[in-house]
Amino acid sequence: MPSRAAALVLLALAACGVAPAGGGEADSQTVEPLLTVPERTGYRRTSTAAEVHDFLVRLDAFGDPRFFLTAFGESSDGRPLDLVVVADPPVRRAAEAHRGTRPVVLVMANIHGGEVEGKEAVQELLRAVVTDEADPWPVGDAVVLFVPVYNPAGNDALGPKNRPLQHGPSLAGRRVNARGLDLNRDWMKLEAPETRSLVGLLQEWDPHVVLDLHTTNGSAHGYELTYAGVLHPGAHPELRDLLDHDWLPALRRRMLERHGLHVFDYGNFLSPEGEFEDDPDLLGGWRTFDHRPRFGNNYVGLRNRIAILSEAYAYLAFPERIAATRAFVTEVLRLAAERGSDVPAACRRWDAETERWGGAGELVQPLSAELVERGREPVRIRGFRTETDPATGETWRIASGPVTEVELPVQVGFRAVEEALAPPTYWLAPELAAVVAPVLAGHGVAFRWLDAPQTVEAVTFRVVETHREPLPFQGHFERSATFDLGLREVTLPAGTLELSLAQPLARLAFQLVDPRAEDGLRHWNWYDRWLMAGPDAELPLYAAPLPEH
Ligand SMILES: [Zn+2]
């Protein structure tokens, strides 16, 4: 903590008449300097949500017009979710952020409660803004939205066993929210109040770039941090190309050149742990996770926005993880600022093309996907030793020993296996529309209600086979199904929901509503009532035939 910052906070507190945190005596001798919880506990502790909020309030007391503390929704345990807007010139409302051509970036931390360093890195960055450690604010005229603690209930459910093998702190939060939901599996179904709040923020503030901060819990590798872009093959091809061939390689270079940190595409080795020491070929390859839009990076991509997942390396010490995450956030912000008006311009173009193709029946969407190999590339390997945390008796893995590089097949992207042209319009009969409309509205997908009956030529979906997973996942018994598509005249009653894909969110709308889509409403049981009628049942959902081209 630079002494200048400490001095400044004392001045700010005195000027605002704010009592120092944690003590009654306003004697300047006892005023605590503005340190994060890890900084003032020798990195033995991570912040609770209340401690983060208190820290933000103290930063707010500086009265820096570039720093604006507000809230954007509510957590599953009824707490307001903090949002900090940092911008120069200052921004207070969403409409102001989109005046002109400024890039808008959202940095969200702590979606998984025990993955703790994102919120600490964000606090350090915000302190640097108001204490002029970063003067001028180093990201030009970009508008940056910070959500330091997206999952306060998970964050505060501190325990010694929530993050097995993670190299400290001794107590960390748990992954899920107060209702046991993993917020990074909830993006399509919107069942958690946190997700509904955040998707509301995406609609209101419309960030062009979303950066989601996590910590790994897998393979022992030789990187300080790993990342992923948008893995869903249904995102705009130009968006995926921009990330894979421009932004992510640039970030990788800059992290090494400017911070001496090695970063790479997120992944895990294909072999069991430990075997590589005898024979690196046993590693088999380096593979990323999942393309489905239940994950935030893929979901945001389907909204035509740039998304980056950041995963600090769990077996590095807590302060090293904070530093790596802070450096990565800084570089993403700098890159967004540097690209300036190109960022909103690209988003507008992707929106306009998606709307045009969606309305014309020309939008190609995947129904399933498979991993593709980028090639054989050098991957960094590093071993670890284990230690017992004296405070809890839990085992820590500590990255140690030399780094070696092994050439491995690298699978960090997906391509479509089956594809379909998205129908330009869907119609949902009133009984189905009643359950689907709230989810569509939650996502900001536009639709309208038919106020009079209408007869149309429509594609029908008749069930061939359907399967329900026997074990629950996230409170659901996941549902698959195959359909026979027919074509007949259908009379739609008044109260039918009409969903036109002539809209910027056409990719998301298709992946939500089309019964053939992999991770949409059919998967999460919205269509079960009709699917359970068994083979030959017809869904009360119809699609406009594709126009002849
Ligand atoms: Zn995570």
How far, in Å, is the centroid of ligand 1 from the Cα of 155?
12
Question: What is the mean pLDDT of the segment spanning 370-382?
Answer: 95
User: What's the CA-to-centroid distance between 184 and ligand 1, angstroms?
Assistant: 8
Q: Which domain holds residue 430?
A: 423-543
* Distance of CA 163 from the midpoint of ligand 1 (Å): 11
Domain count, the chain: 2
- Is residue 397 a part of any domain in this protein? no
What does DSSP assign to residue 29? G
Is there a single domain that holds both residue 353 and residue 471? Answer: no
> What's the 185 CA to ligand 1 centre distance in angstroms?
10
Inter-residue contact 59 to 22 (CB < 8 Å): no
Centre of ligand 1 from the C-alpha of residue 115, in Å: 6
Strand extents, DSSP E, 64-195: 67-74, 80-86, 104-109, 143-147
Q: Tell me the mean pLDDT in the region 386-414.
A: 95
pLDDT at 7 over 50: no
Q: Average pLDDT, stretch 225-251?
A: 98
Tell me, in angstroms, the distance from the centre of ligand 1 to residue 216's CA.
7
> Cα–Cα distance between 71 and 69 in angstroms, integer?
7
Cα(444) to centroid(ligand 1), Å: 25
pLDDT of 23: 40
Distance 524 CA to ligand 1 centre (A): 21
CA 152 to ligand 1 center in whole angstroms: 14
- Residue 128's nearest CA partner among 254, 259, 2 is 2
* Residue 29 in domain: no
Residues 164 and 282 in one domain: yes
Q: Which is more confidently placed, 277 or 367?
A: 367
Average pLDDT for 27-38: 73
The residue with tokens 């941090």 is 225
Q: Assess if residue 209 is contained within a domain.
A: yes
- Only one residue has tokens 């070929």, namely 281
pLDDT exceeds 50 at position 19:
no
Which pLDDT belongs to residue 283? 80
- Residue 519 makes CB contacts below 8 A (sequence gap 6+) with 188, 292, 293, 294, 511
382 within some domain:
no
pLDDT tens column, 287-300: 999 999 999 999 99
What separation in Å is there between the alpha carbon of 109 and the centre of ligand 1?
10
Instruction: Report pLDDT for 22.
Output: 40
Is 44 inside any structural domain?
no
Average pLDDT of the residues in 85-108: 95
Distance 214 CA to ligand 1 centre (A): 4
Mean pLDDT of the chain: 93
Same domain, 328 and 432: no
Question: 21-25, 73-77, 126-130, 499-503: which range is least confident on average?
Answer: 21-25
Residues 442 and 347 reside in one and the same domain? no
Rounded CA-CA distance 540/291 in Å is 29
Residues 196 and 276 in one domain: yes
d(CA 430, CA 408) in angstroms, rounded, equals 53
Mean pLDDT computed over 466-476: 96
Ligand 1 centroid from CA 211, angstroms: 13
CATH of the domain at 186: 3.40.630.10
Rounded CA-CA distance 82/194 in Å is 11
Average pLDDT score over residue span 59-65:
96
Longest dimension (CA), the chain: 82
Over range 217-245, report the average pLDDT.
96
Mean pLDDT within 304-309: 98
338 and 481 co-located in one domain:
no
Centre of ligand 1 to C-alpha 502, Å, is: 34
pLDDT confidence tier of residue 9, bands split at 50, 70 and 90: very low
Indicate whether 135 pLDDT > 80.
no
Q: Identify whether 243 is part of a domain.
A: yes
Per-residue pLDDT band for 27 (boundaries 50, 70, 90) equals very low
Question: Residue 485: is its pLDDT beyond 90?
Answer: yes
Residue 384 lies inside a defined structural domain of this protein? no
Q: Are 200 and 262 in contact (CB under 8 A)?
A: no
Average pLDDT over residues 185-190: 98
State in Å: Cα 55 to ligand 1 middle. 24
Q: Same domain for 126 and 249?
A: yes
Tokens of 430: 């009133």
DSSP sequence for 76-145: TTSPEEEEEEE-SS---SHHHHTSSS--EEEEEE-SSTT--HHHHHHHHHHHHHHTTTTSS-TTTT-EEE
Among 190, 200, 193, 209, CA closest to 145: 209
Reported pTM: 0.93
Q: Is position 31 within any domain?
A: no
CA–centroid distance, residue 255 to ligand 1 (Å): 21
Q: Does pLDDT of 8 surpass 60?
A: no
One domain for residues 354 and 470: no
Give me ligand 1 centre to Cα 380, in Å: 22
Q: Kindly give the distance from the C-alpha atom of residue 535 to the centroid of ligand 1, in angstroms, as a whole number.
A: 39
Ligand 1: distance of its center to the CA of 217 in Å?
8
CA distance 75 to 86: 22
Residue 321 has pLDDT above 60, yes or no: yes
pLDDT bucket at 17, cuts 50 / 70 / 90: very low
235 shares a domain with 124: yes
